[in-house]
A and B are shown apart, each in its own frame.
Chain A
């Protein structure tokens, strides 16, 4: 089985990393695009922690070379357009945790009080998230917002940012964090643009 890690552009040399199952990396031309692949014995591939980490290390090594995202001329137009839009960009992840969201449910003397308290909480969370997401979204080429999750997570999103704009983007996150000391705010990256490599509809 051939395992695909990424399409690459301006690839100077293959990373020294071994691929999944320790397999050697190879370059493969696919309709004019450079694909970094390796040949695996196992079929189907066993999704193990080691396989995930191996895959991730190869992608990170390619990202270090600024090699992710090709602009192949003979690929299908939709694929080529998607790859072109990723060129020069990286993914930055932002996650916000509000410890108060894990607090016990609203206690109220009656049903009306409960509903009003819940509505106010919901509005406050929306305002809090909008105050962060709106400026970040303006400074990103695209964004993909996930649903709030367990553990008090109120905002989890990926932003497609031009590589040179990452420091300014990070400063926006820092500024928001400074004015919301009660929140846990984490910004990670740069990552390969995983969240934006799929269909155009996947990114908001």
Chain B
């Protein structure tokens, strides 16, 4: 099917790695409802993807909240150190789990339709 003049006609201005941006277009499938693949070979990875996505969401929310409190001067030095240690270890463990299940940062996301992406 023709798409008329094509995407190039809609490009008003561009600089940098357009492949990285165009990569998002290849994820057009994301506009359709996402499902956990339930066949035996992929169910474990699908579930891991879902669980890690939720953990990553919580990690980001907690970290942003902690940074906000730190910026507001609401945390003392000990609390900053302990929170920093926790977030560092959590980030390292997440990297290990992503590698174990063959997932990338882009996989840890959910399209929420009109609400946008989860992460």
- Tell me the A residues contacting B by CB distance below 8 Å: 47, 49-50, 52-54, 56-57, 60-61, 92, 95, 97, 99, 102, 104-105, 108, 110-115, 118-119, 122, 146-147, 149-153, 166, 170, 173-174, 177-178, 181, 183-191
Contact = CB atoms under 8 A, between A and B. Distances in A.
A112 B106 contact: no
5 contacts: A111-B86, A115-B84, A150-B109, A183-B15, A184-B16
Contacts of A183: 15-16
Given A110-B84, A115-B87, A183-B15, 9 more contacts: A110-B81, A111-B84, A112-B84, A115-B66, A115-B83, A150-B108, A186-B11, A186-B14, A188-B10
**Chain B interface bracket (under 10, 10 to 19, 20 to 34, 35 or more):** 35 or more
Which of A149, A152, A177 has the most chain B CB atoms closer than 10 A to its own CB? Answer: A149
B16 A97 contact: yes
Contact of B18 (A49, A110, A153, A186): A186
B59 to A, nearest CB: 10
A185 B88 contact: no
A188 B119 contact: no
B4 A92 contact: no
A199 B14 CA distance: 31
B4 A170 contact: no
Contacts of A147: 116-117
Given A147-B116, A173-B12, A111 B67 contact: no
A153 B11 CA distance: 18
Contacts of A187: 11-14
B67 A119 contact: yes
B81 to A, nearest CB: 4
A189 B16 contact: no
Contacts of A104: 95
A189 B12 contact: yes
A141 B82 CA distance: 46
A25 to B, nearest CB: 15
B109 A149 contact: yes
A170 B13 contact: yes
Given A151-B20, A188-B10, A111 B15 contact: no
Contacts of B32: 47
A150 B105 contact: yes
Nearest to A114: B84
B15 A185 contact: yes
